[in-house]
Structure 1
């Protein structure tokens, strides 16, 4: 089910990413259902920058990398769309899919402002050294969101470190 932007006002904005565990979507769905508000599922392509967006939801974006194809209209990843629909269809919670481009924290903030979202739900990055290094250099989307806009940000842990275990960027406990 989908709706226009006016039916999404005051809903829950959830960042969805190809390959992301469905847990993030399920938590956002539960919150939207509990609050009886719609769900906006947004995927951000960080390899492209926003050129313009239109009232009908069409987003025009170009690649940062000149070697990438210059497909201007952003389309939602079909596999991600199918995965989302398999979780959300039949739940009774109205939802819409939004494809965005550019810096994820700025794109999500812009969309949250447009739809006056109550909350923004994001997942943590993958565990391990590679994910930690990427997050160190690029910054955490959740941290950027928490410091750059006024809405509460709900962070769903995807690979929590048990008990007293060391976080990937910390020294192991002695």
Structure 2
């Protein structure tokens, strides 16, 4: 695939397959999404939702202005470059048109909105890494995949990352005691 095909364009693709990514994510998620995009004859719209930013306002032409939650935060250009390189590496040898779009806010709501705007065919996300920290976060915020499945009409494909948990295996074997300041006496 040429670099020109991976550069962002002014217009979003119509009826794409949308895939949500995070830095360092397994290449399997992007490759599965690309396979479904090829099956549908669709473009691949790769998205990353920056949860450290929020949408401040949107221009009439659709340009979205965001602001950081933390005013001391560094700009996300380095993150966008990193994600673009990871996507190019993951999709190396895969003949599919793709572009990267950076979003801000709540991941499920941002991808839902993007899917509505582009009339997406499918939304693809990866599972989270196993661990107590991820379990706590999911308990409070809910799974992005589950929230997408309940809040919009498109199919959601969840790609497992890593080794699956066996039926008789504890999904969080590395449980660590709560820090004393969070749970006194815990």
Range of TM-score over shorter length: 0.7 to 0.9
> How much is the aligned-residue C-alpha RMSD, in angstroms?
2.3
Structure 1 residues 149 and 106: CA distance shift in structure 2, 3 A: same
5 Å-filtered alignment, 1:57-96, equals 59-69=64-74, 71=75, 75=77, 77-88=80-91, 90-96=93-99
Q: Is the 8 A contact 1:14 1:122 kept in 2?
A: yes
Of 30, 43, 50, the residue aligned with 1:45 is: 50
Matched pairs, number: 165
Which stretches in structure 2 are left out of the alignment for 5+ residues? 174-186
Which stretches in structure 1 are left out of the alignment for 5+ residues? 170-174
Q: CA offsets, 1:124-155, max 9 Å, x none?
A: 11111111111111211111101111111100
Tell me by how many angstroms 1:101 deviates.
0.2
Distance 2:161 2:32 in 1: 12
Tell me by how many angstroms 1:49 deviates.
0.2
Report the TM-score when normalising by structure 2.
0.79
Tell me by how many angstroms 1:31 deviates.
0.8
Distance 1:89 1:56 in 2: 34
Where does residue 25 of structure 2 map in the other structure?
20
Tell me by how many angstroms 1:77 deviates.
1.9
Tell me by how many angstroms 1:53 deviates.
4.6
For the pair 1:161 / 2:165, whether they are aligned, the reply is: yes
Tell me by how many angstroms 1:52 deviates.
3.5
Report the TM-score when normalising by structure 1.
0.84
